[in-house]
Amino acid sequence: MLRMSTLFLRTLRDDPADAEVASHRLLVRAGYIRRIAAGIYSWLPLGYITLRNIERIIREEMDKAGFQEVHFPALLPRDAYEKTNRWSEYGADIFRLQDRKGGDYLLGPTHEEMFTLMVKGEYSSYKDLPLSLYQIQTKYRDEPRPRSGIIRGREFVMKDSYSFDLTDEGLSQSYNKHRDAYIKTFDRLGMRYNIVSAMSGAMGGSRSEEFLAPCPTGEDTYVLCEKCGYAANVEAMKTVVVAVDFSSAPKMKIVDTPDTPTIDSLVNVLNEKFGSGYTGAQTLKNVLLIADGKNISVLVPGDREVDLKRLEANLPGVKEIRLFEDSDFAKNPSLVKGYVGPQDAQKFGLTVYADPRVAPGTSWVTGANKKDRHALNVVNGRDFTVDDYVDAAEVRKGDTCPECSAPVVIDHAIEIGHIFQLGRKFAQALDLTVLDSDGKSRVVTMGSYGIGVSRAVAAIAEQTHDEIGLCWPAEVAPAQVHIVATGKDDNPFNVADSLALTLEKLGVSVMLDDRRDASPGVKFKDAELIGNPIIVVVGKALAEGKVEVRIRRSAERREVLIADAASEIAKLLP
């Protein structure tokens, strides 16, 4: 039982000046967390209980699914990360340190290597598979910009699991088992979430889905089709390529378009000289970039920007990408800034990527590769050649769903889980093989599954709080019931105490405000701020032998007889 008279807790009346988002503000005000440095927080009793509640739920669901818990050090030697190249690839995001002998160490940002090596050390037969292991661990990443309190920290708690299988079908099954376990976990955590198609990112791999908790302060943007349920991270959103018949398209024509280096200026001149009706959507934007040292051109409709994140995510193998600068134009005189067109692009040494919206057979107004001149009726497949199609244009609300063609909506969310099929990358690099039934050695295939545990505290707070405080789901809250004793006589305190004991016997966790020196107003405000789901007030109603039961979330109140209170309250809980 948590007794407020002795609980290590000080709530704050004012919002902390350095907190912006609701979860951060309220977790600090309600005395759950305190900032130590940017992106690094301490957990006070209430916060730590909440965090452990979430861990407990995750553990229970992982164990139920048959996954086994292990634990690695957070402090790791360099060599394991050397073999997979990540000592260098992870770059500045890794916290590095040295021991007294000058040996290199790191604080683990993620533990693929350790899991792979652990399995390699113990298992060597196909009969040992499939296997899934997990850990709940503090991870460290030197984020360029920690933000939003506990949502994006430099130290954070994560549950990560890995599955080990012999075959692709096996991996698929392990993946689905994790997916099911995640659904059960997030349901119990009382979160709203969407499972969206995602890119597996820098880790490589194939199938990938994210669990996104919608909320306005979320950093992730995703599309959702309300008609068919299709959901995808914007990076992973697919656009269907639909070829158009161009046999009746008029011939390409070069026209004078003085001073039209931008889409807006071009549209104005087109409308002045060739009649109205031209819009940016009919023009073709040629965005020149340098991808790992090679010049590429990305074609998107003129009314859309290139989404560099999407482009990068959809150009596998490309590490670094940047826009053309003036010096790059200087090196390539055939490329005229503001008047670039895809005609002859390959002759100029460009690789041409087109967004699927620039479908085969579509006709465009685009640059003529000469200053102050543009070309009309430039048809894809007739007047220029696309080397490859790649999703690169910004995604907008109302874009068509790739599954059912209905308009999609766009929303923000916090990424709380990510599951993906890693494949054989790490097993290959670290030589994790098992002998198959034919006596041949085979590389194991892996899946990777993460849940942001400390982030979930913030995400739940974001989704459930209101103007007056936190508002936890019952399984997550520091206590399921918050009993407030009011008045100056001993009686209410005695009644509250015995009610608390009765509830605990029923398996209900209780926080008891037994402070004799605090006024009722203070106790009510604190109870609401702290956010336990049921608040019981023992005070005035005692005159009729009753206590008041309040539902924090709905603010609903009712009075029940003391004798019935414990069983009535227990009924309200899951």
Partner RNA sequence: CGGGGCGUAGCGUAGUGGCUAGCGCGCCUGCUUUGGGAGCAGGAGACCGAGAGUUCGAAUCUCUCCGCCCCGACCA
Helix (H) or strand (E) holding 269: helix 263-274
- Counting every residue written for the chain, the total comes to 574
135 binds RNA (CB under 7 A): no
DSSP state of 424: T
Q: What does the DSSP 8-state code read for residue 122? A: H
- Asked whether position 488 contacts RNA by CB under 7 A, the answer is yes
Residue type, 224: L
Binding flag, residue 291, RNA (CB under 7 A): no
User: Is 448 one of the binding residues for RNA (CB under 7 A)?
Assistant: yes
DSSP state at residue 8: S
Q: Does 11 bind RNA (CB under 7 A)?
A: yes
Q: 53-72 mask for RNA (x: CB under 7 A)?
A: --------------------
Please report whether residue 514 would count as binding RNA according to CB under 7 A: no
Q: Which range of residues in 184-192, 271-279, 378-386, 517-525 is near RNA by CB under 7 A?
A: 517-525
With CB under 7 A as the contact rule, the residue among 110, 233, 369, 454 that binds RNA is 110
Nearer to RNA, 219 or 226 (CB): 219
CA distances from 358 to 88, 389, 563 (A): 38, 9, 73
Q: Judged by CB under 7 A, does residue 309 bind RNA?
A: yes
Number of helices (H), then strands (E), belonging to the chain: the values are 14, 30
The CA-atom distances, in angstroms, between 473 and each of 46, 53, 71, 307, 533 are 15, 11, 28, 37, 7
DSSP per-residue codes, 377-404: EEEBTTTB--SEE---BPP-TTPBPTTT
Task: Select from 548, 549, 560, 569 the one that contacts RNA (CB under 7 A).
Answer: 548
Min CB(200)–RNA separation in Å:
6
139 binds RNA (CB under 7 A): yes
> Of 127 and 516, which CB lies nearer to RNA in the complex structure?
516
Residue 424 has a CB neighbour count (10 Å cut-off) of: 18
Q: Which stretch binds RNA (CB under 7 A): 125-133, 244-252, 399-407, 520-528?
A: 520-528
Count of residues touching RNA (by CB under 7 A)? 65
**Does residue number 351 form part of the binding site for RNA (CB under 7 A)?**
no
- Angle CA 321–322–327, to nearest 5: 140
Contact 483, 543 (CB under 8 A): no
Distance of CA 537 to the CA centre of its chain: 39
* 487 touching RNA, by CB under 7 A: yes
Does residue 160 interact with RNA by CB under 7 A? yes
Per-residue binder mask for RNA (CB under 7 A), 15-54, x = binder:
xxxx-xx-------x-----x-xxx---------------
Token look-up 């969206």 returns 196
Tell me which long-range contacts 88-93 makes (C-beta under 8 A, separation of at least 24).
89/202, 92/142, 92/144, 93/141, 93/142, 93/143, 93/144
Q: Token pair for residue 462?
A: 């974001």
Applying CB under 7 A, which part among 7-15, 249-257, 291-299, 378-386 lies near RNA? 7-15
> What order do you get walking across the sheet with 253-256 strand by strand?
253-256, 373-379, 363-370
Q: Check residue 308 for interaction with RNA (CB under 7 A).
A: yes
Nearer to RNA, 220 or 355 (CB): 220
Contact between 375 and 253 under an 8 Å Cβ cutoff? The reply is: yes
529 binds RNA (CB under 7 A): yes
Contact flag: residue 146 with RNA (CB under 7 A): yes
Give the other-Cβ count within 10 Å of 156's Cβ: 23
Task: Return d(Cα 210, Cα 200) in angstroms, integer.
Answer: 9
Interface characters, 358-397, with RNA (x: CB under 7 A): ----------------------------------------
Q: Of 83, 120, 147, 337, which one interacts with RNA (CB under 7 A)?
A: 147
Out of 7, 306, 526, 534, point to the residue binding RNA (CB under 7 A).
526
Query: Of 54-62, 169-177, 425-433, 535-543, which part binds RNA (CB under 7 A)?
Result: 535-543
**Which range of residues in 104-112, 297-305, 372-380, 495-503 is near RNA by CB under 7 A?**
104-112
Per-residue x/- track, 74-93, RNA (CB under 7 A): -------------------x
- Could you tell me the sign of the dihedral formed by the alpha carbons of 339, 345, 351, 357, in that order? positive
Would you count residue 177 as binding RNA (CB under 7 A)? no
462 binds RNA (CB under 7 A): no
Closest residue by Cα to residue 446 from 172, 74, 185:
172
Question: According to the binding rule CB under 7 A, does residue 450 interact with RNA?
Answer: yes
Beta-bridge partners for 477: none
- Which C-beta is closer to RNA: that of 76 or that of 254? 76
In sequence order, the 6+-apart residues with CB closer than 8 A to the CB of 562 are 495, 499, 542, 545, 546, 547
- Give the footprint of RNA on this chain (CB under 7 A): 10-18, 20-21, 29, 35, 37-39, 93, 109-111, 139, 141, 143-149, 152, 158, 160, 200-203, 219, 308-309, 312, 418, 448, 450, 468, 486-488, 516-522, 524-526, 528-529, 537-541, 548
